[in-house]
Amino acid sequence: MKILITGGAGYIGSHTLRQFLNTKHELFVLDNLSKGSSIAINDLQKLRNFNFIKQDLSDFKGVKELFKKEKFDAVVHFAASIEVFESMQNPLKYYMNNTINTTNLIHSCLEENVNNFIFSSTAATYGEPKTEIVSETSTLQPINPYGRSKLMSEEILRDASKAKPEFKHCILRYFNVAGACMDFDIGQRYDKATLLIKVAAECAAGKRDKIFIFGDDYNTRDGTCIRDYIHVDDISSAHLAGLEYLQNNESSVFNVGYGHGFSVKEVIETMKMVSGVDFKVEISQRRPGDPSILISNANKIKEKTSWKPKFDDLKLICKSAYEWELKLIKEKNVKNV
């Protein structure tokens, strides 16, 4: 297949690209490098050649021309803005970059008969669920613009597939993605990241002097929010499984998580344990838009697709994130010499 990966220079996109490079598919990566890394792209090019296009998805004319020229068979769509708190302050950025650009991308697919679409959605589409564990049929009621921008994109995909059934989509609702690649030197490079395990790893590696816990008065076992943390290589392999699934099945939506959760305090303690570093922790106010507990029921993806998670182990996830930070520090020091 000829596959376009949008946002393939970003955190999850680059890990998924790494796995697609093990296949025979012809690969194209489109990224504006706003958050993605050209270093990751250059490193991955050493494994096998692929096409990299530096382009913004809001360049509708450019996207249309690319689709006309390349005649893709599938799109794996990661490119998006991803920060919940930022989406509360600047919602239109999220509706434009996530919903409008995705709509245009779907439009190009419909026009050029690209009939396989894998979409990065999120557990944020569930909002503040009534049950601790959410399945794909749970109520979708996002509580922030990020989640709404993704849910709208999901609805647009569903409508597009209804109108043109040969256009098939696979929606993957990720839970909290963390860690770094287990068999290649890539990880999350963006240094203003807000994801808990990344920030904790930066503290352990000495890049930040403290970590904030945003609220310790939630109705959970230790008062801090509980999330389903999943290793980035397991999220990535779900995209290959999703694409394979679409070849013999109808459009579908899958949760991608492990089905159990850890609190913020438990994650911080695990990071301290695997790194051996006792970094400073400070309790701060709750952030608006943070639900107290979000855990996936991931039975559907396990039953219906070939997806088999390999790294369901918080210690291993934290260790891979910590070791990646140490590598980044080493890389920076070598460059400064």
Ligand X SMILES: NC(=O)c1ccc[n+]([C@@H]2O[C@H](COP(=O)([O-])OP(=O)(O)OC[C@H]3O[C@@H](n4cnc5c(N)ncnc54)[C@H](O)[C@@H]3O)[C@@H](O)[C@H]2O)c1
- Scan residues 36-55 and list those touching ligand X (CB under 6 A): 36
d(CA 30, CA 232): 20
Q: Which H or E run contains 74?
A: strand 74-77
HSE (CB half, 13 Å, CA atoms) of 186? 30
- Scan residues 3-32 and list those touching ligand X (CB under 6 A): 7, 9-13, 31-32
Say which of 94, 95, 126, 146 is annotated catalytic. 146
> What single DSSP character describes residue 27?
E
Q: According to the binding rule CB under 6 A, does residue 294 interact with ligand X? A: no
Q: According to the binding rule CB under 6 A, does residue 35 interact with ligand X? A: yes
- Nearest in space to 173 (alpha carbons), one of 242, 225, 104: 242
- Report, in this order, helix, strand and coil percent for the chain, each rounded to 5: 45, 20, 35
Which listed residue (3, 4, 41, 79) binds ligand X by CB under 6 A? 79
Q: Which residues contact 294 (CB under 8 A, 6 or more apart)?
A: 123, 126, 129, 134, 175, 176, 226, 227, 228, 261
Active site residue 146: yes
Least distance CB 39 / ligand X (angstroms): 12
d(CA 169, CA 148): 19
Location of structure tokens 């589409």: 125
What binding mask, one character per residue, do residues 302-331 give for ligand X by CB under 6 A, x or -? ------------------------------
Q: Which is nearer to ligand X, 40 or 205 (CB)?
A: 40
> What single DSSP character describes residue 95?
I
Which listed residue (3, 41, 80, 267) binds ligand X by CB under 6 A? 80
- Scan residues 84-113 and list those touching ligand X (CB under 6 A): 97, 101
Which listed residue (38, 42, 58, 247) binds ligand X by CB under 6 A? 58
- Scan residues 126-165 and list those touching ligand X (CB under 6 A): none
- Nearest in space to 305 (alpha carbons), one of 231, 265, 255: 255
Q: Which is nearer to ligand X, 219 or 256 (CB)?
A: 256
Least distance CB 58 / ligand X (angstroms): 5
Q: Which residues bind ligand X (CB under 6 A)?
A: 7, 9-13, 31-36, 56-58, 78-80, 82, 97, 101, 120, 122, 174, 176-177, 190, 195
Catalytic sites, residue numbers: 146
